[in-house]
Structure 1
Amino acid sequence: MNTPDEKSTQSRSSRANARSGIVIIGAGIGGISAAIALIEKLGFHDFIIYEKADDVGGTWRDNTYPGCACDVSSHWYSLSTEINPDWTQRYAQQPEILQYWKSLTTKHNLSSYIQFHTLVTNAIWDASSQEYIITTKDTHSGVQQTTRARIIISAIGGFVAPSYPVEISGKEQFQGRMWHSSRWRHDVPLQGLRVGVIGNGASAAQIIPEIAKDETTTIVNFCRTPSWFIPREQFSYSKTTRWIFRYIPLVARLYRAVIMARHDVNYFALWPKKSEKTRKIVRKRLIEYIKSVAPKEYHEQLIPTYPPGCKRLVLDPGYLKSLRQPNVSLNWDEIKEVTPTGLRMQGGNVVDLDVIVFATGYVFISNELEVSGSKGITIREYWERQKGPTAYLGTTMPGFPNYFTLLGPNTATGHASVIFSEESQLNYILKMVKPVLDGDASSFEVSAEASEAYNRDLQERLSKTVWTDCRSFYRSGGSQDGKVVATFPGTLTQFWWLTRSVRWEDYIGVNAESWMEKRKRGSVGRITLMSMVTALCLMLWGVPRLRK
């Protein structure tokens, strides 16, 4: 096992062609978190991170659009092992979030483990050697290389690539400037231009108030389905508060715990279908908020018909108020196509534009990576057979030994921090990889029976939530009746409870017989010891009573 110093002296080229204990795909939030966990909790250094871009940060590196910020409290949108007392605002802006993850990369010397501008294109399980054969491509030169690893941790996340509505044709015709919100063109000044923003979800709601500050910019927001908006109670942390978080023990951690507890309680008030009474109260208050802030002429169109929580709730950063500005307008007509000068609506009229911005979300399944497992099929084929992305605890899949996904299917809660979800997964993954790294087993894969039973129960519980009441990106294909594949039907505390330990009987091990037997004996020994201690305590408690 390599030490950090030995690891940092190896060249990237030599590491690319060597065997690694673990390959981590992606140097975003999940990849950085996985690397820190391996180093700090297992003391393990024989891993490499492949990152297709030229820097760390993932979605917070890519999304630099005006107003980009997190809609989860910053003190909770961070690692529990890396508490940051210096967050400046309740909801941190993109530059501050990116700096947090860059600082962790520096603190733990992770750059020496990362091979940048390297895209993982293929991974094939070799049963004879109990390894994955991994093909990578240099995104600059196009040169391909092959390496092997016993374990793969996929940390590519949920925001894989920009998504463009396929029903809108003619994009190649547009003679103006066009881009996706996650690929913002900072070299294009918007002063005096006519800007069309397609979509009215979280990204559009953050972009429009910012670019509308320039009164010479005319903005048309093209909407399809209204979103539920809730007030964003933003505030800054004072120097005194930050001093308290830094120097008074446990205050920052307690503050973080209170935030988590509040969000977990909110889950029961809104997302289960049986919470009809509280949801009616929430709906009434949200309608009151929308009507109190947005212009009257938009009220009917802005109020959704689906229940709050079915789609992602949008923290309002000033979007509704910006609709009162003379340079901002809404268009609810369906877009037919892009023309050379703008957008043609289904009714036939053309809205002339200088710039078109697609704030239309992301592709959640990578088209760049193919992973083949022990049963001769790819993950993509497995998911097609399951009618959508499927995994056991969102982390492992039958037929794919030693392959783990962070922020996999049904791990997000729709109301809380995905960082904590990934930390829960990582604690689970560390327990699974330790016997492999210690040489006590070659591989583990979840059994098909265990995965099917888990997902049957999961989908049954999801059917009792509001996530099945509308069309959203939480569902396979973003359809009205697709399987819910993104969200977990419960609180983060419940997800943590499920991932706190491994049910080894749900897994098939290779060359793990003696380790499993030893583990069983250890379990029997612990039970026996606990029984003896309990019996002794009862005897000691009973002796004085007999003497009486």
Structure 2
Amino acid sequence: MTTSTAIVTTAPEGTFEIRDITLKEMRSDEIVVRMVATGVCHTDFSCANGTIPVPSPIILGHEGAGVVECVGPDVYHVQVGDHVVLSFPACGAELWGSIVIYGVGSVGLAGVMSAAKLTPAARIVAVDVSEEKLQAASKLGATHVINSSEQDVVKAVRDLTNGNGSDCAFDTTGNGKVIEAMIAASTNTAKVASVGSSPIGHFVNIEVASWIGRGISYSGACQGSAVPRVTVPHVAPDPASRAIHFAEHSMNGNHSSAGFSELFQDPSKVVDEYKIPDVPLGSSRNVKAIYIGMGMSGIDFAYHAGKVPNLEVQLYEKNDAPGGTWLENQYPGCACDVPIATYQYRWALKPDWDHYYAYQPDILKYLQDVAEEHDLTRFCKFKHQVTSAEWLEDKGKWRVAVMEDNDPSKIRYDEAEFLINGSGILNSWKWPDIAGRKEFKGDMVHSARWDKNVDLKGKRIAVIGIGSSAIQVVPSVLEQSEKLYVFARSKTWITPGYASKYAGPDDSDELKKRWRNDSTDYLRYVKSIELDLSGIWKMFLKEGSANAEATEFARHIMENKLNHRKDLIEGLVPTEFPFGCRRPTPGTGFLEALANPKTTLLKGGIKAFDATG
């Protein structure tokens, strides 16, 4: 039996002690080395604290140097008295014309540095999404860098290698898509390896025929997979000219506990002055979230996020009040086209709406009342518009530019760990690009910026388009008009209101009173409507019988409401696509308005305006 002295820990307590140990009998293919020095790193630390599950007790130091004292009969490369370096085994070393390293964090940068010092590679290419890391790679020996967020990696690598692809490549990310790109960017007979670990169950898609046909060798590299007897002599025959500087700290083994403490807490002992924080897993920290807009979703965010501990919430709203689209859109007939019972907050139910499909003024009042009742406006700066945002990699934060009072000279900046864009996609309105539009001498209004000062009574009115807004505007202005012209460039499916079977007359005062006193009963009513709405999805499956039935039903409804007028049916009812290819638009009163003698439907686009229209 052979005895030795070692630093031993019993995971997961993480305490260290110097202890005498007894080694197993040496096998015929093993050697006994008297250790002169050993290294400890984060792998040892992770084993000691239980992060890496290994049986205990654990002998620390999986890499080191010493002198051979005994050699087994099946060992041919060393003899007693040799000075040796110990590490994990691997496949060996080769010379390549190009090396590409995917991901240049600490492991990738070590690879760049090693490649630059140890191989005569013509090209050492670093690939990453971080400019800061790519700059570090250039300083440590990378001859070329590729920002994969800005370039096609496969094309960029092949361009750098005269179209051939890389001879050798290493992935340190563990990301399947990156590994697939690495193989695609490699030359025939290339050797590629994965160094970065992936979660269990993570897979890579590789075309077997292409892989085999190209003769590419793909392997996993455990702990860097260095072969000491091959790589160490290559590294250190001439320390003066070929030494690689690594940060190091040495101490007597009797002080191992203190040594670990210094290694992982003293920034002077760690590369790039990085300090591993002494913060337990799951600890909270103060962070900030910026939300753009205070419409319906912004109010909901403020309500929930405002209750999260350690979270600072800041909303920026370009308008002078909350409401979002319901504040900006105030055209005639503006309303919600789904039952209002399903278009409200679960935490602020309103059982006494005036209409089943609520109109814009009622919805806006509801939103603003909710914001005021719950004091949510305290999180928001109004008349503040976010104009740009950029991610600060070094800080791990978003930096946003905010314009105050719509004044470009008043720009301020704010930073936060989280940025949520709730500004919507339909509020950047514009006038149609039609020749001569500005020559028109009459009043011209846009549904997204309705001018309430315009008097429509007794006027000839033209409505351009038959989208959702037009479908609500047309029946609302028909009575005021002398003559109404509706321009329809394309056809669309127009249906009765969603879940209309629950509509009927507006809810009675008695029913509203009951719901105010019994929220459970009201919630049951709301859920019944939502269940009805959720059940219509089958009619949107193109090949299903439900879609064919829905198409015929919608066609029948439209033809009836258009009084079976052939000119209106041909101009409005779709024949090229079935129901559901575009969102069906509920349009109470719209089809009837088109069939009114005062209305003329004009099919096709508008070529130009003149002074009279």
Q: TM-score range by the shorter chain?
A: 0.5 to 0.7
Change (3 A) 1:32 1:44: farther
- Distance in 1, matches of 2:558 and 2:534, equals 25
Could you say what secondary structure the match of 1:197 adopts? strand
Change (3 A) 1:124 1:103: same
The equivalent of 2:27 in structure 1 is none
TM-fit CA distance, 1:84 = 1.4
Considering only aligned residues, what root-mean-square deviation do their CA atoms show, in Å?
Answer: 1.8
Q: Any idea what the Cα deviations from partners look like across 1:400-426, whole Å, max 9, x if unmatched?
A: xxxxxxxxxxxxxxxxxxxxxxxxxxx
- Contact 1:38–1:44 (CA under 8 A) maintained in structure 2: no
- Contact 1:20–1:48 (CA under 8 A) maintained in structure 2: no
More helix per residue: 1 or 2?
Answer: 1
- Contact 1:30–1:156 (CA under 8 A) maintained in structure 2: no
Please give the TM-score of this superposition, normalised by the length of structure 2: 0.50
- Contact 2:318–2:384 (CA under 8 A) maintained in structure 1: yes
- Distance in 1, matches of 2:542 and 2:555, equals 19
| Unaligned ranges ≥5, structure 1 | 1-18, 343-548
TM-fit CA distance, 1:92 = 0.7
Query: Residue 252 of structure 1 aligns to which amino acid in structure 2?
Result: Y
1:246-285 aligned within 5 A: 246-268=516-538, 270-275=539-544, 277-285=545-553
Matched, 1:35 2:302: yes
- Distance in 2, matches of 1:279 and 1:185, equals 41
TM-fit CA distance, 1:45 = 6.0
Of 294, 311, 315, 2:586 maps to: 315
- Contact 1:294–1:323 (CA under 8 A) maintained in structure 2: yes
Could you say what secondary structure the match of 2:377 adopts? helix
1:8-27 aligned within 5 A: 21-27=288-294
The equivalent of 1:74 in structure 2 is 340
Of 560, 563, 578, 1:292 maps to: 560
Could you say what secondary structure the match of 2:523 adopts? helix
- Contact 1:134–1:147 (CA under 8 A) maintained in structure 2: yes
Q: Any idea what the Cα deviations from partners look like across 1:129-148, whole Å, max 9, x if unmatched?
A: 21111111113433111111
Query: Residue 278 of structure 1 aligns to which amino acid in structure 2?
Result: A
TM-fit CA distance, 1:336 = 0.8
Query: Residue 207 of structure 1 aligns to which amino acid in structure 2?
Result: V
TM-fit CA distance, 1:326 = 2.5
The equivalent of 1:152 in structure 2 is 419
CA radius of gyration, larger in: 2
- Contact 2:427–2:448 (CA under 8 A) maintained in structure 1: no
- Distance in 2, matches of 1:121 and 1:44, equals 27
The equivalent of 2:453 in structure 1 is 187
TM-fit CA distance, 1:155 = 0.7
- Distance in 1, matches of 2:596 and 2:579, equals 27
Q: Any idea what the Cα deviations from partners look like across 1:56-94, whole Å, max 9, x if unmatched?
A: 111111111111110111110011222111222211111
Matched, 1:327 2:598: yes
The equivalent of 1:197 in structure 2 is 463
Change (3 A) 1:165 1:309: farther
Matched, 1:337 2:608: yes
TM-fit CA distance, 1:284 = 1.5
- Contact 2:289–2:311 (CA under 8 A) maintained in structure 1: no
- Contact 2:287–2:311 (CA under 8 A) maintained in structure 1: no
- Contact 1:193–1:217 (CA under 8 A) maintained in structure 2: yes
Could you say what secondary structure the match of 1:251 adopts? helix
- Distance in 2, matches of 1:152 and 1:260, equals 31
Q: Any idea what the Cα deviations from partners look like across 1:343-396, whole Å, max 9, x if unmatched?
A: xxxxxxxxxxxxxxxxxxxxxxxxxxxxxxxxxxxxxxxxxxxxxxxxxxxxxx
- Contact 1:63–1:182 (CA under 8 A) maintained in structure 2: yes
The equivalent of 1:479 in structure 2 is none
Matched, 1:98 2:368: no
- Distance in 1, matches of 2:357 and 2:299, equals 21
The equivalent of 2:494 in structure 1 is 229
- Distance in 1, matches of 2:297 and 2:568, equals 40
TM-fit CA distance, 1:112 = 1.8
Could you say what secondary structure the match of 2:401 adopts? strand
1:113-132 aligned within 5 A: 113-132=379-398
Moved more, 111-120 or 138-147: 138-147
Change (3 A) 1:255 1:265: same
Change (3 A) 1:274 1:333: closer
- Contact 1:24–1:153 (CA under 8 A) maintained in structure 2: yes
| Unaligned ranges ≥5, structure 2 | 1-285
- Distance in 1, matches of 2:521 and 2:430, equals 41
- Distance in 1, matches of 2:363 and 2:477, equals 21
- Contact 2:385–2:406 (CA under 8 A) maintained in structure 1: no
TM-fit CA distance, 1:46 = 1.8
- Contact 1:117–1:138 (CA under 8 A) maintained in structure 2: yes
How many pairs align? 319
- Distance in 2, matches of 1:293 and 1:140, equals 46
TM-fit CA distance, 1:187 = 0.1
TM-fit CA distance, 1:126 = 1.2
- Distance in 2, matches of 1:224 and 1:304, equals 12
Query: Residue 322 of structure 2 aligns to which amino acid in structure 1?
Result: V
Change (3 A) 1:107 1:95: same
Could you say what secondary structure the match of 1:46 adopts? strand
Change (3 A) 1:73 1:114: same
Could you say what secondary structure the match of 2:342 adopts? coil
Query: Residue 155 of structure 1 aligns to which amino acid in structure 2?
Result: G
Could you say what secondary structure the match of 1:148 adopts? strand
- Distance in 1, matches of 2:376 and 2:412, equals 22
- Distance in 2, matches of 1:217 and 1:117, equals 40
Change (3 A) 1:47 1:249: closer
Please give the TM-score of this superposition, normalised by the length of structure 1: 0.56
Query: Residue 316 of structure 1 aligns to which amino acid in structure 2?
Result: G
Change (3 A) 1:129 1:196: same
Change (3 A) 1:108 1:45: farther
- Contact 2:306–2:313 (CA under 8 A) maintained in structure 1: no
- Distance in 2, matches of 1:245 and 1:156, equals 34
- Distance in 2, matches of 1:158 and 1:30, equals 13
- Distance in 2, matches of 1:217 and 1:56, equals 37
Q: Any idea what the Cα deviations from partners look like across 1:102-128, whole Å, max 9, x if unmatched?
A: 011101212222111111011111122
TM-fit CA distance, 1:322 = 1.3
- Distance in 1, matches of 2:435 and 2:520, equals 55
- Contact 1:173–1:340 (CA under 8 A) maintained in structure 2: yes
Change (3 A) 1:219 1:44: farther
